[in-house]
Structure 1
Amino acid sequence: MGDTIWIIFAGLLVLVGAIGTIAPILPGVPLSWGGLLVLKFIPSTQDDISWRTIIILGVLTIVVTILDNVLPVWGTKRLGGNKQVVWGATIGLLIGFFLGPWGIIFGPFIGAFAGGLLSGTQFIHAVKQATGAFVGYIAGLVLKLVTVGLLILFFVKTLVV
């Protein structure tokens, strides 16, 4: 009975982590990895996943989490953005979160665009800067989704074996 409760807890971590890949306020990938780590400590599942797998996926989690935070800034700066554009993209993402999936997807672009215009950038250049923020955000999102998909795959594989 005790193992079942821990498995449910681990599953909830993985599920909340999956939601966190698109929700900017939740550390999605680390939560999902935490769910996999919990499985390693449950007596009935601990032999079904190796420490090597846990460590490799943990390193991947760290790398993807760092990249997710760096890519939007890098994309913005690469296309000529400044601090106001980066802040605009961040604020756009947070506001967009409350507007549903389309807000999450286009919020960083709109926020970066507004930040560019407010900092005195010309319209065309602000669009270019916002595109950099958008591409960086989408790249980070794809990396997170792929990583969480991999974590879910190992989670299910561990329970099925």
Structure 2
Amino acid sequence: MGYALLVLAQVAGLLLIPFGLPGTWVQVGAVAAYGFATGFSTLGWGTFALLLVLAAAGEAMEFALGGRYARKYGGSRRAAWGAILGGLVGAFVGVPVFLIGSVIGAFVGAFVGAAAMELTRKSELRGALRVGWGAFVGRMVATAAKSAIGVAIAAVALLSAAG
């Protein structure tokens, strides 16, 4: 029964990640609960520490990639921060679309934040839109990378718990 709950929690965590919600932390929390319930007999502290590091790396990547891509597409440091902050605000505010509003909001927020901040630096609309597009692409890459880390967390957790 405990293993089945761990599987369900891992799947739930994976489903939360694309929505900008803390899915990797749900996964790690489930591993901690499972470990505590089993006295860490099958899941050792080393495995738990590895999963914590993976979750933290996923958060750092998600936070930084929008800004990094904005810079890669010719944006300033200000545009990079605009992409990061715009993505966070957009995910929080979302758009009025059932279930995926926060995802759309994060992508749109990264685009608008980077483009707007680039426009404050120089008033060339075409360049600002290019930078905004870079932030949008960066947000997509960040979501994919964090989802891959979530899959790795689930694999390590489930294989370790089954052992």
Q: Does the TM-score normalized on the shorter chain lie above 0.5?
A: yes
Query: CA distance change for structure 1 residues 160 and 56 in 2, over 3 Å: closer, same or farther?
Result: closer
RMSD: 3.3
One-letter amino acid matched to 2:27:
S
Identity of aligned residues (%): 17
Residue 149 of structure 2 corresponds to: 147
**How do residues 1-161 of structure 1 correspond to structure 2 at under 5 angstroms?**
4=1, 8=5, 10-11=6-7, 13-24=9-20, 26-43=21-38, 46-78=40-72, 79-81=74-76, 82=78, 85-86=82-83, 87-96=85-94, 98-99=96-97, 100=100, 103=104, 106-108=107-109, 110-112=111-113, 115-116=116-117, 119=120, 121-158=123-160, 160-161=162-163
Give the whole-Å Cα distance in 1 for the aligned partners of 2:145 and 2:114: 24
Runs of 5+ in structure 2 lacking a partner? none
Deviation at 1:34, TM superposition (A): 1.3
Task: Number of aligned residue pairs: give it.
Answer: 155
**Do 1:92 and 1:112's aligned partners in 2 also have CA atoms closer than 8 Å?**
no
**Normalization by structure 2: what TM-score?**
0.71
Which whole-Å deviations, capped at 9, do the CAs of 1:6-64 have from their partners, x for residues lacking one? 963x555434422331222x222122111112221122x83222222211121121122
Q: Which has the higher contact order (CA 8 A, sep 6+)?
A: 2
Give the whole-Å Cα distance in 1 for the aligned partners of 2:16 and 2:134: 23
**Do 2:119 and 2:128's aligned partners in 1 also have CA atoms closer than 8 Å?**
no
Runs of 5+ in structure 1 lacking a partner? none
